[in-house]
Amino acid sequence: MNKKYYFKYLNLSFQFLFIILFFVVLGYLADKFFFKKIGILTFVLPIVGFMISLFWIYKNESK
């Protein structure tokens, strides 16, 4: 494989990692603010963020 492809997929993996971490932290902070005892948004927001990132990558790659 070409190095260009390695960097492309390495960039993609870091992008997924940072998006998931961002939405986990955002969900945790929102749960602490809105729901004191249950962590609904900590579970839901990373899944939503991952789906948004998949859609975003699909749109960028289909150009």
pLDDT tens digits for 14-56? 888 999 999 999 999 999 999 888 889 999 999 999 999 899 8
List CB contacts of 23: < 8 A, sequence separation 6 or more: 45, 46, 48, 49, 50
Task: Give the per-residue pLDDT at 24.
Answer: 94
**Residue, of 34 and 9, whose pLDDT is higher:** 34
Task: Give the per-residue pLDDT at 1.
Answer: 62
Q: Which two tokens stand for residue 19?
A: 């998006």
Task: Give the per-residue pLDDT at 44.
Answer: 93
Task: Give the per-residue pLDDT at 31.
Answer: 92
**What pTM was computed for the model?**
0.78
